[in-house]
Structure 1
Amino acid sequence: MTYKAKIVKLVIVLCIVIVIIVKWHTLAYLANYIKGYYVTIKESLITPDTVSIIYPTRFLNYKHPYHNAPCDLLHCGNMLLYTPSKEERVSDIAQKLIGYTYYYKASHLQNAIVSLNAVSSKTVAAGTVLVIPHPLPFITIDLTKKSMTQIPYVKGVYYSGNSLASQKMMCQLYQLKQAGINAVVFDVKDVCGTVNYKSHVPIVVELNTHEKRPIDDVVTLIRNFKELDLYVIARIAVFRDHLLATKSPDMAIKSKRTGGIWNQGSKELWVDPTKQSVWDYNIALACEIASMGADEVQFDYIRFPTTGDLSDAQYAYDFGKKSKVETITEFLAKAKNELHKLNTAVS
């Protein structure tokens, strides 16, 4: 065998070793990464009217999730190792590292860490090497949207907040994807008022309306959806909001008779559609989930109440005394304007 042939053979062996280390799925990421650049160049040369996109997320941009990883975290191939510099609670480790894994609920990651590493206590000593299960590959989907996602039709499935907490959800979703769905709708905020993920919107944090959230890392959840080529629709129940009315009575519709919260004692409390702070709360939430990768925000309960003692309802009219139609129309116009800046559709 000639020297040149030996070199070629060595290169082939090295390539095989690299493939084994990074696994085949990483090559798929690289392929899509190249396709993403190709489509970007193509779109810059061809007018958008001549481009027909059938699958909303077939070509995607990617980023490196470990670029700013802490120094005590080591990613190599399909392995993620964490070595705490001081004694830490397993629950804190799960919260800290969830963004580097496919888990979107911290308790699930915590249980997996305990099981995989045979951890026998709630804390881990400094210097202990932990294997973190189901880590992200070295490049992942970038959820930043450079343009509004186009989709010819929607055939999807809806998940409430609690159903998202099920560990079987992604498996079920994969089966539904195989059956032909191309979209998923999930509750960002339901009629109870619970914000279903860990939000960073100041008023949500202040009022702690995400306290009973089923999702700790909504970015990972949305990324999981995108990896299945699904169009992601975030549902927000706007003006029917029991929790917000309770935690911030100033935002609730008032009772003319008592001066307190209108419809108090019922299971159906509403915040005031004519109040500036209520608009700001919901639009801030919509913009946050849009910036996290949702393709569309679906506003529900975008109306005034129709049951209860309506004659007793007192509205603030922060924008002047306008009709219900005008109020709702102006709210939607403002929300649409803000969301379109983030390349997010509104329904």
Structure 2
Amino acid sequence: MKSVILFLVIASLCFSGCASQGAASAEEYFSLGMAYFELGKYAEAEKWLNRARSIDKTKTASEYNLGRIAYETGRFDDAVRHFDRVLARDKDNVLALKSAAYSRIKTGDLSGAETLYKRVLELEPDSVDQGYNYAMVLMAMDKPENAEEVLLKYKLTMADNKDTLLLLARTQKAQNKVEAVDTYSQWLAENNDTKVRYEYAQVLESGQFYARALEEYRTVVTALPQGRSFSDAALNDPTALERTAVRFIIARLLLVADSEKDDGIKELETAVTEGFTDTEKLTTLLDETGISAAHKDEIRRVIDGINKAKVEKEAADKAAAEKEAAEKAAAELEGVPNEPDASS
């Protein structure tokens, strides 16, 4: 269908050009450029839009769409320049403001994006989407209190906008606000995500709601398979949750919150059985004042066991490597023909 539209546009321009002895108008250049743009033929689109831009009547629209092409082709610095030129002619052009802000995010100019989004919201104060984008920039700039202030303006509409509600929860979590408990709870009442539930458990623990935190951590462990968490794509993601790491958190919480019982040690042993080997984290437990002396002795035993297993594995790996090297050398010698006797 788009090809048909382009054909009709070109045919129309050719007819018009013939009728006017080859003199195409700015509007015709612009139409042709946009037809190529819709087809994704960006190089051709740029050529015609640059012609249209040279004529004042279509300058702003052409400049804006050249910015869109630059953005779509990953030339974010060029996109910024095009959108800035539009804003130089029309400082309150909302489309250009939004596009310039988003392009600046791609270039890493968060301060510039912050300024532009602030202006967008002055012009469109009820735009939840732009409020969300502005808050995301503020969070990236480590300004959670400002991000929360922006998002709270849309409190009444958050029930219908899960992304905005979750971002609000994260701004509150970053500030260690107890309000994060209710916000995360509200989000999880309508949505389900293992990583978000883990964040919720962290908030509960921070607020000393230990029983509820344990419940949520256990739900996370149940949701995570052995090894890495969410999907095979997460295997190279250093932020991906691991089942054993969450088990360690449960063990730590049990050891601190209930030092009389052995549940924490049992959870710790389960974590180790499933593959937890981080002795540095285990060592930090020895400095916890809430953990009993008897349990600390058990933790030392676990650490010694992990270290012993590591040494044994290293020795086994070394022996296997030496055996493989020896077998390879022997195989190479068998393949070398005997040297002729010098006396013959």
Q: Structure 2 length normalisation: TM-score?
A: 0.24
Q: Structure 1 length normalisation: TM-score?
A: 0.24
The structure carrying a bigger strand percent of its residues is: 1
* More relative contact order, 1 or 2 (CA 8 Å, 6+ apart): 1
Give the number of the structure whose alpha-carbon radius of gyration is greater: 2
The structure carrying a bigger helix percent of its residues is: 2
